[in-house]
Copies of this chain bind each other. A is one copy, B any other.
């Protein structure tokens, strides 16, 4: 990972590739690297779909090693959805393969002068950038079928579906999993639209002939990795819970906690929750011959995913995540798992964020376009996104635009990005994260559900205002650091609860790079990343006024707790308090 690959899609004549040694961003990885590049190299007020924007694809610091759980990929750009900086994080095989090819990042720049659509092939011999208009307006699944025919099954792919080509603000970038299915997505913020604006449909990564990345101290790394893996296996969430039921185990938990946003955030409990729970989903998968347990990349030992099949055992989709089941399910009043799995498949194929899409459909339901609970209507609407009909274009532009176009007042977005599957009035810590994260509303940016609901890393009462700001701050800082490592965020449960597992993680990084990082340096790293991102957003015109939930959360209480979001504005403004201190000193 000592190289940076820059691809200029707007170069005179034809797109060009340049490989340089990574001096400028040395020591950075994942989100740390993507946010540094965007902040330094992209004009904050440029058009997100213009030639000045860049798409940065970076594996984490530990990706490509033998370390467990190191397969997360960061994709950064100025977001066409939020207008601010974006790091969208995905699993799948790409991070490992790209890291083994020796690249700290691919930076795609410029904009082609023609309408041609390109594929980029990267292997040990170099880079090919080839126009391939036969891929135009294909879904991700068909794109990958063509890849298999031409490149076999041992590559990893990044691709966009129709939505990315149409430059929709909810467009994702698909990353293939171990079976070369385009099921792991950098979903949030419209990164797929930026890839589409650069005329890139597909990136094929082939690490044949390359070896695992070697740590500076192999023995120490091996030992730390062993302790880290043991720690994960010992913890009830990462060792058993996620494998057994996947993330969708949360449906029953959040519903019981009254924090399950139902029918566009009108109530906090859904009467159909048990029909779409993780427990039922695992049962269906086992019974029909799917798989309740499945990892998305080599080296994953948590295996939170699965394979969802129809009644005849035919593949429909990977096991839909909790947030997907919620967005297409409870948020829209839909309680049919087969239909939700079909929506998940369509989202992955068209290449759109499941959260943004589901929330947009719920907003459209509030506008009366279709009725709450109309699963077939929802499927039809998602298909329209792929077809690019005017209605599909509206929905594909995200929940915020859908609300604007239909004149809807109740639009659950922050920085124009849709709120995920946790009501901020019943789980106030996550509300602080939604409001203040530089990414827009994003549960992964500081997953307070862990401590508010799952009692991991201590306990902060989800209904009280006390402690939420500190909780969100600590988790946002820790998450930014973890997002730089390439480690899957789910390790957080174990490192929050088990000091020796946290130490094992530090030892892995230190052994790999010959460093002496401490808990304090992790905090410093996370703070630096967040401040870099916030600085970009500030230059893009964001103020504390954008660090707010939509007004209705402050004035409209939600059953069953009948709570509003009552964290004070000045407390929200204290989340990034190290910045204030730095200025004052």
Residues of B within 8 A of A397 (CB): 404-405
From A146-154, A259-267, A288-296, A539-547, the one touching the partner chain is A539-547
* B551–A541 CB distance below 8 A: no
User: Of B80, B394, B406, B409, which contacts A50 at CB under 8 A?
Assistant: B409
Known: A394-B390, A540-B545. A193 touches B407 (CB 8 A): yes
User: Of B167, B390, B408, B548, which contacts A407 at CB under 8 A?
Assistant: B167
Tell me whether A316 is interfacial, beta carbon within 8 Å: no
User: Of B405, B411, B539, B542, which contacts A393 at CB under 8 A?
Assistant: B405
From A18-26, A39-47, A338-346, A351-359, the one touching the partner chain is A39-47
* B541–A545 CB distance below 8 A: yes
Cα(A46)–Cα(B213), bound, Å: 52
Cα(A111)–Cα(B51), bound, Å: 44
* A45–B545 CB distance below 8 A: yes
Residues of B within 8 A of A405 (CB): 393-394, 397, 401, 405
Tell me whether A197 is interfacial, beta carbon within 8 Å: yes
Tell me whether A169 is interfacial, beta carbon within 8 Å: yes
User: Of B43, B169, B196, which contacts A404 at CB under 8 A?
Assistant: B169
Chain B proximity mask over A523-547: 1 for CB below 8 Å, otherwise 0:
0000000000000000111110110
Known: A390-B394, A539-B545. A47 touches B551 (CB 8 A): yes
- 13 other A-B residue contacts (CB within 8 Å) besides A393-B405, A401-B404: A45-B545, A45-B548, A47-B409, A49-B407, A49-B409, A80-B407, A169-B404, A196-B407, A197-B409, A389-B390, A390-B393, A393-B394, A401-B405
Cα(A391)–Cα(B545), bound, Å: 31
Residues of B within 8 A of A46 (CB): 551
User: Of B52, B193, B548, B551, which contacts A551 at CB under 8 A?
Assistant: B52
* Oligomeric state, in copies: 2
* B539–A407 CB distance below 8 A: no
Cα(A569)–Cα(B365), bound, Å: 43
Residues of B within 8 A of A546 (CB): 541
Min CB gap A433→B, angstroms: 19
Min CB gap A292→B, angstroms: 39
Min CB gap A172→B, angstroms: 15
Residues of B within 8 A of A197 (CB): 407, 409
Tell me whether A489 is interfacial, beta carbon within 8 Å: no
Known: A407-B49, A407-B197, A545-B539. A551 touches B43 (CB 8 A): yes
Cα(A546)–Cα(B407), bound, Å: 23
Min CB gap A17→B, angstroms: 24
Tell me whether A186 is interfacial, beta carbon within 8 Å: no
Tell me whether A552 is interfacial, beta carbon within 8 Å: yes
Cα(A168)–Cα(B45), bound, Å: 27
* A168–B394 CB distance below 8 A: no
Min CB gap A229→B, angstroms: 44
Cα(A43)–Cα(B543), bound, Å: 16
Min CB gap A382→B, angstroms: 15
Point out which of A47, A168, A193, A389 has the most chain B C-beta atoms below 10 A from its C-beta.
A47
Chain B proximity mask over A38-75: 1 for CB below 8 Å, otherwise 0:
00000111110110100000000000000000000000
Cα(A137)–Cα(B218), bound, Å: 74
Tell me whether A166 is interfacial, beta carbon within 8 Å: yes
Residues of B within 8 A of A408 (CB): 49
* A47–B550 CB distance below 8 A: yes
Point out which of A167, A405, A542, A552 has the most chain B C-beta atoms below 10 A from its C-beta.
A405
Known: A45-B545, A540-B545, A543-B543. A551 touches B50 (CB 8 A): yes
Residues of B within 8 A of A548 (CB): 45
- Interface members, chain A 384-401 (any B CB < 8 Å): 389-391, 393-394, 397, 401
Cα(A394)–Cα(B394), bound, Å: 7
Min CB gap A166→B, angstroms: 6
Residues of B within 8 A of A552 (CB): 47, 50
Residues of B within 8 A of A550 (CB): 47
Residues of B within 8 A of A543 (CB): 541-543
Cα(A148)–Cα(B541), bound, Å: 49
Question: In the complex, which residue of chain B has the Cβ closest to the Cβ of A169?
Answer: B404
Min CB gap A293→B, angstroms: 39
- Interface members, chain A 121-174 (any B CB < 8 Å): 166-169
Q: What are the 7 closest A-B residue pairs judged by CB atoms, nearest first?
A: A167-B407, A541-B545, A390-B390, A390-B391, A393-B405, A47-B409, A49-B409
Question: In the complex, which residue of chain B has the Cβ closest to the Cβ of A548?
Answer: B45
- Interface members, chain A 540-575 (any B CB < 8 Å): 540-543, 545-546, 548, 550-552
Residues of B within 8 A of A169 (CB): 404
Chain B proximity mask over A407-438: 1 for CB below 8 Å, otherwise 0:
11101000000000000000000000000000
* A168–B407 CB distance below 8 A: yes
Known: A168-B407, A169-B404, A541-B545. A551 touches B390 (CB 8 A): no
Residues of B within 8 A of A47 (CB): 409, 411, 550-552
Min CB gap A440→B, angstroms: 14
* A551–B168 CB distance below 8 A: no
Min CB gap A104→B, angstroms: 29
Question: In the complex, which residue of chain B has the Cβ closest to the Cβ of A389?
Answer: B390
Residues of B within 8 A of A45 (CB): 545, 548, 551
Residues of B within 8 A of A390 (CB): 389-391, 393-394
Cα(A415)–Cα(B54), bound, Å: 24
Min CB gap A194→B, angstroms: 11
Residues of B within 8 A of A193 (CB): 407
